[in-house]
Amino acid sequence: MKLTMQLVRRPFTLALAAACMLSSQAVFATPFLHIPVYAFAKPSIVKLNLLNRTSTSLEVKVGDDIMTIGAGKTISVKVPVGTRILTNTATSTHPAGDLIVEVDRSLDGVTVGIG
C-alpha cells in the first residue's frame, strides 16, 4: 500500500509542479494593463508656411492663437498634427471662421496660400 501511494504521489507532484511553472509564465506573458505605445509618443510637429495672397492683412487662427499675416507676406508656423487653421477675418474667397487646413504630416515644408 505504501509503495502504491508513493507511485501515485510522485507523478501527481511532478504534474502539479509543471503546471505551476507553466502557468506562472503565461501570467507574466499577458499584460495586466494594456497601454498603447502611441500614448507615450510626442505629438508630431509640422513646419509649414502660410502665404497671404490678398491685398490686405489677414488674421488667421492657428489652434488657439490668432496671427496676422501682412498683405503678400508669408509666415512660418510649427504646429502639432491635427491643428486646425481657420480664417479669423473674412476675405473675398473665405468667410471668417472658414477652415483653411487641418494639419497632417504631408504638409511638412509646404506653403499654403490663402486668398
pLDDT of amino acid 97: 92
- 86-99 pLDDT tens trace: 999 888 888 999 99
pLDDT of amino acid 28: 54
- The one-letter amino acid at 35: I
Assigned C-alpha cell, 7:
507511485
CB 47 within 8 A of CB 77: yes
pLDDT < 70 regions, the chain: 1-10, 20-43
Which CATH topology does 44-114 take? Immunoglobulin-like (2.60.40)
Residue ranges covered by each domain of the chain? 2-37, 44-114
User: 72 — alpha (psi -120 to 50), left (phi > 0) or beta?
Assistant: left
Assigned C-alpha cell, 107:
504638409
User: What percent of the chain has a predicted confidence (pLDDT) above 70?
Assistant: 70
pLDDT of amino acid 115: 81
pTM for the full model? 0.62
